[in-house]
Structure 1
């Protein structure tokens, strides 16, 4: 069994608080043991990041860009190993793990290319006023279990590109590839630039409250985001919070169910539905409702469930038992309330947290499966007859991450998309994230954005230089 270590100040370190098991969700066997950091080791990691920041904040943009390109090359050189780890600890099929690694490489290179220009507000014979962007200091990154490599890259790369240093804490359910990622980064990065501590006992809350950390970037649930926000108040940490979503899609009556069924399925069940920006509620006009349900069920039953390491598998397990139990509970509640199960609807027998892709019809708002974020392989399909009512129902949620409109009429779809209360609205698509387009939510889905120029600026503060000539 492979041994994993914390990385503090560029050195591999054993966890002072022992270790814990990391399970493979496909067979519930132990993949490896993960080191459990102590709070003293968290302090050491922050101190190392602070010491590195003293010089890294003054590094040139050219040096930062080159470092990210070197990191991307090192990730690419270790792509097979990283994909293998992702499958074993997270459960997704190998093709999707390979896409995650490929995305991490591409995103790192795209972040390297971002610029931090000086804005000139005035330049006259007597005065010049400039706005510079300065790094914040030590950034704490807290990442979830659904896209453990990709989201770590989303947090770490813009932080160091903008002149900050990092302490990373991955989910205890999927810590292994992030540990390996930080080890790879430290092959080419200055000691202390990126550190990693793992463990579920006090490490995350310790980071949130730590006086030496100037910003927390967190991807995860809304309740945890609220706790982080409370803990960050003592030293007024900057926050970027990408929290839960319950994304609605609206299918207009002119859409062709046969043409869009595959796209809707793939964006609803991406990563077995375990993606914040998945389509999670589908509102379909009454005139095409039955056909849409039928086409989605046809795609669902074509999936091959199994261990992601096995050839031909297109659909993996739910990552952990708690999420598996929640998905089962929500489907049973829908069934008890008269919903029609068109595919799936029952967990598979045997080892592993396997739940087949499930299409649920004859369900409406007020049912738990519609009102709560399922974060799993289930899609409720809701009938509507009036578009204004559909928009109102789509917006009747306390979260607002993404939304979509599906139609042959792009102009009409764009008008409706503009009425959705969400951070990103897609037309004839969903869940597509781009390295140059800011991504974030509104309402209880958090605040701040990631990606592109706006996302990079989240890791900086503005300083005005006012020059009297």
Structure 2
């Protein structure tokens, strides 16, 4: 285990171009990130190609053992990684934030390492015998976002490595240090060459998506960027797993208990200060309990402290970057001008440092308002009144995205019946955004395609091969 300063120094370049990474809470420098070149990308891809066959030949049991040791290494450096993540991304150490994210990396590595994937007997009727196997793809490119940089990197690289692939990770330019540090720690227990990180600009990133030696791209990010990756990967017919933008709806049925669900509604919407792809981003509440839900949710939200992530008391932090801050501020301002009612927040202190936007709840808002129709990706939740469940479902399904959704009710069969009618990859009941390494996760419509997590996620990192005879 290294100290925080030693860990940061170990990923700081000794030569070549760099970028200064700033703390979104204070504007202070966190550290220097390398700006890797096309030549560096070619080096790590070639090293991955060379190392991958031996890694694949080890077999599932040995690879799983290596991932378990890698999980131990992350656990040993957990506090240092969490502190770096908090400073670079902005999320607080406590609450479901930086320490939670690093802990989730450890848990996900261990869960992925212990998933069983056996050959499937497809036909065995005496005349025909056929088995389905999954072979490594080769080299996988993993492109991650800035909101959960470490955890999403693990979601991508853990199953890829488990299946016998080598991996080249490209972190977001906003949060490269966290991922570089994570990869450095993982490589303490992994064979040389099978895992590398490339901190680079758009030109080098584009080369990764079109590189002929990359057999698959895993990408988490915006729908627009996903479309660009589909195009750039087409000439080499790469396999793709795309987890793209979402604007998740939650529907509160009239029999729900407003006080009982208020805190879970809050964290469904404001986890990571709202900067989560599968966060609750538009809440539909039946008119019978609309005012009560607004009152209870406001009380919970008002009690949640926001501030610098290194302050142990805070559970909400800043937006990670100025661009996202402006998106949230502009959408809330437009909602206010339209006549929507601001229950809480909406009044940022522009004199303080950092990209802090206050926890904001907006009521009495039209469904076609931009704060409802566009993904805000920040701490502002619109609450829409409805009178007919059919109407709420139609509004929930009206957008072109469908990552997640939720239904809130005291009647479980009724909630499940509503959930089955919602067009989303995952529909939670009486919770929102709860992912599990055993349960497949993926989007519908323009929220992407392909599955992650669980056995289905492992299969997505392999090439199916049928042995017939």
Where on the TM-score scale, by shorter chain, does this alignment land: which range?
Answer: over 0.9
The residue that corresponds to 1:9 in the other structure is none
Partner residue in 2 for 1:204:
205
Deviation at 1:200, TM superposition (A): 2.1
The corresponding residue for 1:367 is 369
8 Å CA contact 1:23–1:89 kept in 2: the answer is yes
Partner of 1:10: none
Q: Distance in 2 between matches of 1:347 and 1:378?
A: 12
State how far apart, in whole Å, the 2-side matches of 1:91 and 1:415 are.
39
- Partner SS state of residue 301, structure 2: helix
Give 1:181 deviation, angstroms.
1.2
Matched, 1:146 2:152: no
Structure 1 residue 425: deviation in Å? Answer: 0.4
Once the two structures are superposed, residues 29-59 of structure 1 have per-residue CA deviations (whole angstroms, 9 ceiling, x without a partner) of 1100100000111111110110011222222
Provide the aligned C-alpha RMSD in A. 1.3
Kindly indicate whether residue 114 of structure 2 is the aligned counterpart of residue 108 of structure 1.
no
Going from structure 1 to structure 2, the CA distance change for 1:326 and 1:15 (only over 3 Å counts) comes to farther
Q: Is contact 1:358–1:378 with CA below 8 Å preserved after alignment?
A: yes
Partner of 2:412: 410
- Name the SS for the 2:273 alignment partner: coil
Whether the 8 Å contact between 2:33 and 2:199 is mirrored in structure 1 is: yes
**Secondary structure of the corresponding residue to residue 202 of structure 2:** coil
Say whether the 8 Å CA contact 1:14–1:35 is kept in structure 2.
no
Partner of residue 387 from structure 1, selected from 384, 389, 401: 389
SS of the equivalent of 2:200 reads coil
Gaps of 5+ in 1: 7-12
Output the CA distance in 1 between the equivalents of 2:169 and 2:225: 17
1:4 deviates by 5.1
Match of residue 184 from structure 2? 183
After the TM superposition, which residues 308-347 of structure 1 pair with which residues of structure 2 at under 5 Å, given as runs?
308-347=309-348
- Cα distance between partner residues in 2 of 1:93 and 1:379: 20
Shift of 1:250: 0.5
Map of 2:28 onto structure 1:
29
Q: Is the 8 A contact 1:15 1:36 kept in 2?
A: no
Alignment of 1:391-402 (within 5 A): 391-402=393-404
Question: Are the counterparts in 2 of residues 4 and 179 from structure 1 also a CA contact under 8 Å?
Answer: no
Contact 1:143 1:219 in 2 (8 A): yes
Q: What are the within-5 Å matches in structure 2 for residues 153-164 of structure 1? A: 153-164=154-165
> 1:341/1:4 Cα in 2 relative to 1: closer, same or farther (>3 Å)?
farther
**Change beyond 3 A, Cα 1:441–1:258:** same
Q: In the aligned structure 2, how far is the partner of 1:125 from the partner of 1:382?
A: 60
Q: In the alignment, what sits opposite 1:3?
A: 9
Conserved? CA contact 1:225–1:243, under 8 Å = yes
* Long gaps (5+) in structure 2: none
How far apart are 1:272 and its partner, in Å?
0.1
The SS at the match of 2:289 is helix
CA distances 1:5-31 after superposition (whole Å, capped 9, x unpaired): 48xxxxxx7564x01011111001110
Q: By how many angstroms is 1:430 displaced?
A: 0.5
Q: CA deviation at 1:407?
A: 0.7
Contact 2:11/2:177, CA 8 A, preserved across alignment: no
- Is the CA contact 1:133–1:463 (under 8 Å) kept in the aligned structure 2? yes
Aligned equivalents of 1:5 and 1:353: distance in 2?
A: 26
Contact 1:26-1:354 within 8 A present in 2 as well: yes
1:170 is matched with 171
Paired with 2:136 and 2:108, the residues of 1 have a C-alpha distance of 20
Q: CA deviation at 1:203?
A: 2.1
Distance 2:121 2:417 in 1: 36
Displacement after TM superposition at 1:127 (Å):
4.8
For 2:453 and 2:437, locate their aligned partners in 1 and report how far apart those are by CA, in whole Å: 5
Q: How many residues align?
A: 460
